[in-house]
Chain A
Amino acid sequence: MSEVVITDPRYASAGKPSGRLLEVEDLRVEFRTRDGVAKVINGVTYHVNAGETLAVLGESGSGKSVTAQAIMGILDTPPGFVTGGKIRFHGDDMLTMSPEQRRRIRGNGIAMVFQDALSALNPVFTVGFQIAEQFRVRQGLSRGDAKKRAIEMLDQVKIPFAKQRVNEYPHQFSGGMRQRVMIAMSLALDPEVLIADEPTTALDVTVQAQIMDLLSELQRERQMGMILITHDLGVVADVADRIAVMYAGRIVEEATVYELYAKPAHPYTIGLLQSIPRLDEKGQELRTIKGLPPNLMRIPSGCPFHPRCPMRVDDICIPNVPPLLQIGPTRASACHFAEDLVNRA
Chain B
Amino acid sequence: MGRYVLRRLLQLIPVFFGTTFLIYYLVWAVPGDPFAGKCGERPCPQSYVDFMTEKFNLDKPIIVQYGTYMKNLLQGDFGQTFGGRQISDLISDAYPNTIKLAIVALIIEAVIGLTAGVLTGLRRNGFLDNLVLVSTLFMIALPIFVLGFLLQKWLGVDLGIVKPTVSNPPSFGELLMPGFVLGSASMAYIARLARTSIAENRRSDYVRTAIAKGLPMKRVVGVHLLRNSLIPVVTYLGTDLGALMGGAIVTEGIFNINGIGRQVYRAIVTKEGATVVSIVVILVLVYLLSNLLVDLLYAALDPRIRYE
Contacts and interface: CB of A to CB of B under 8 A. Distances in A.
Same assembly:
yes
A109 B204 CA distance: 23
B205 A138 contact: no
B197 to A, nearest CB: 13
Please tell me the size bucket of the interface on B.
20 to 34
21 contacts: A72-B211, A74-B212, A103-B214, A105-B214, A106-B211, A106-B212, A106-B213, A111-B212, A114-B205, A119-B204, A122-B209, A122-B227, A123-B302, A124-B301, A125-B227, A133-B213, A134-B214, A134-B215, A137-B216, A138-B215, A189-B214
Nearest to B206: A122
Interface string A53-78: 00000000000000000001110100
Contacts of A103: 214, 216-217
A105 B203 CA distance: 22
Nearest to B224: A122
A124 B303 contact: yes
B219 interface: yes
A104 B213 CA distance: 9
B228 A124 contact: yes
A108 B209 contact: no
Interface string B226-253: 0110010000000000000000000000
A171 B211 contact: no
Contacts of A134: 213-215
Given A106-B213, A134-B214, A120 B208 contact: yes
Contacts of B301: 124
A185 B208 contact: no
Interface string A208-250: 0000000000000000000000000000000000000000000
Q: Give the 8 A-B CB pairs with smallest separation, nearest first.
A: A107-B214, A106-B214, A119-B205, A122-B206, A169-B303, A120-B205, A120-B209, A107-B213
Interface in A240-286: none
B201 to A, nearest CB: 10
Interface in B176-228: 203-206, 208-217, 219, 223-224, 227-228
Contact of A76 (B203, B228, B303): B203
A31 to B, nearest CB: 14
A116 interface: yes
A80 B36 CA distance: 74
A123 B303 contact: yes
Contact of A123 (B206, B210, B212, B215): B206
Most buried by A among B205, B211, B217, B301: B205
Given A123-B206, A124-B227, A124-B303, 19 more contacts: A74-B211, A74-B212, A104-B214, A105-B214, A114-B208, A114-B209, A119-B204, A120-B209, A121-B206, A122-B227, A123-B303, A123-B304, A125-B224, A126-B303, A133-B223, A134-B213, A134-B214, A185-B209, A185-B213
Majority-rule SS of B interface residues: helix
Contacts of A111: 212-213
A116 to B, nearest CB: 7
Contact of A74 (B208, B223, B224, B302): B208
Interface string A143-157: 000000000000000
Contacts of A189: 214
A34 to B, nearest CB: 14
Contacts of A99: 217
A229 B228 CA distance: 30
Contacts of B231: 124
A104 B215 CA distance: 9
Interface of A: 72-74, 76, 99, 103-108, 111-112, 114, 116, 119-126, 133-134, 137-138, 169, 171, 185, 189
B206 A120 contact: yes
A169 B214 CA distance: 21
Contacts of A107: 212-214
A78 to B, nearest CB: 10
Interface in B35-72: none
B214 A122 contact: no
Contacts of A105: 214
A74 B219 CA distance: 16
Nearest to A126: B303
Contacts of B223: 133
A124 B205 CA distance: 13
B87 to A, nearest CB: 45
Nearest to B213: A107
Nearest to A75: B208
Most buried by A among B213, B215, B217, B304: B213
Contact of B214 (A108, A116, A121, A125): A108
A306 to B, nearest CB: 35
Contacts of B208: 74, 114, 120
Nearest to B301: A124
Contacts of B203: 76
B289 to A, nearest CB: 25
